[in-house]
Structure 1
């Protein structure tokens, strides 16, 4: 076998072997890694490169070395889950950079960060004024977590005491013109419901590039032909309009009748309808 053939064979073998090792070590290796995992990853990559090009023409030396480093990394991860002190030693602790709007200069120097670098990290979090920050901490992964002062945080529905509907996980039920039945079942919908929804929007299944059931249970679709305009779902607004009309009709009936008993009945049911509208508004509003 020629030298080029050796390199090709080793490349494919090491590719599958490294993929297998990475799957065992978990997704943490490709997201937020500690110092130890960073060093281990670099070393494993270097060994793999040497194996591909040849370590004394013996590929198994490199595989054994990768297994050792992979096994040590896996063992360190297990120990980190069981021991807080060991985890703090291996992964490190977060460092406070800003507290009560004041920069902690000593901590910046300790982590070898300049004020310009701190400003850059803040701008990545859409923060341009240090005085707006209640608390900022440099995580062991190198990310900066920022908590704004309460007066500078965006208002939420909880702050305004407004009830909102709970979100459900959207499900992609159509992909490239084909139904994803597992997602359709997870969304609590049937094939008959899907056919009716597609008929309402005057489209056929094979014309749908992407279809999703949103958190409100409505079908959102994107067609292969972008020139075709698909109307937005109107089910919730129509239901809300019907409820409001019923409530208004009850109030009109109460005003038109001369019977005190009927007037009291209409007013009572109008109030019930209004209460129902108040409860359903978070679920039926766009």
Structure 2
């Protein structure tokens, strides 16, 4: 019984350490996994897992190892931030794999990057014809960045000289799950009276609204609990 209690306590400690460690190290390890980030994440996970269930290891020794790893990763991140050479050594450089519609097989071979995987990543970028690609680059975190040739790029409103409505703010969530987001209203100098007035103009009341958001151009999107869709395409 005492052993079970110890494992429970060690598991909570392990989870707490991981949470604190990731907060210290920031979001880059999650959002931009370079090779170094990958190794660091696996190492921290392994130490935390051993702390949780490996009762043969002393808790103090495992926590010390975890703290040392976090310190090393944090210092290396600082070096990468301050030094371009250090950043290049740790993360490497982006690699061009397609130039002007031509596959650079030597660069692909260096990375052991297959044509099948290249085609898969191109399709994920809505590219089905390699001739459309001006440059395709493998970033340091393994993702593929594609720049199409000018004649294959999407046309935007500026190209067509269509007038646009300027946007100066991020969308503001006003109602979520039927509850008024009072903090968002206060931060943007909006009142509940104004919100209810906007709903009234649309013949709605708060209890009918699932979600309401004010876009950056001043338009309001409202989704009600009743969708008025009699035959949903996908029904659970």
Query: TM-score w.r.t. structure 2 length?
Result: 0.91
Distance 1:44 1:194 in 2: 47
**Alignment correspondent of 2:220:** 219
Q: Is 2:192 the partner of 1:191?
A: yes
**Alignment correspondent of 2:76:** 76
70-79 vs 185-194, greater mean Cα deviation: 185-194
For the Cα contact (< 8 Å) 2:34–2:142, is it kept in 1? no
Distance 2:170 2:24 in 1: 28
Distance 1:115 1:57 in 2: 46
**Alignment correspondent of 1:36:** 36
How far did residue 211 of structure 1 move? 1.1
Q: Secondary structure at the match of 1:154?
A: coil
Q: Deviations over 1:192-248 (max 9, x none)?
A: 3212111111221122221111223233222223349xxxxxxxxxxxxxxxxxxxx
**Alignment correspondent of 2:149:** 149
For the Cα contact (< 8 Å) 1:187–1:217, is it kept in 2? no
How far did residue 91 of structure 1 move? 0.8
Structure number with bigger Rg:
1
**Alignment correspondent of 1:62:** 62
More helix by share: 1
Query: TM-score w.r.t. structure 1 length?
Result: 0.75
Distance 2:100 2:80 in 1: 32
- In the alignment, structure 1 segments of 5+ residues that lack a partner are 229-286
Q: Deviations over 1:55-97 (max 9, x none)?
A: 5341111111111111111111111010001000001110000
For the Cα contact (< 8 Å) 1:169–1:215, is it kept in 2? yes
Q: 1:157 to 1:219 in 2, by over 3 A?
A: closer
For the Cα contact (< 8 Å) 1:171–1:186, is it kept in 2? no
Distance 2:219 2:157 in 1: 23
Q: Secondary structure at the match of 1:51?
A: helix
For the Cα contact (< 8 Å) 1:55–1:62, is it kept in 2? no
**Alignment correspondent of 2:126:** 126
The two structures, once aligned, show a CA RMSD in angstroms of 1.7
Distance 1:36 1:23 in 2: 18
Q: Give matches, 1:101-250, under 5 Å.
A: 101-167=101-167, 168-227=169-228
How far did residue 188 of structure 1 move? 4.8
136-145 vs 187-196, greater mean Cα deviation: 187-196
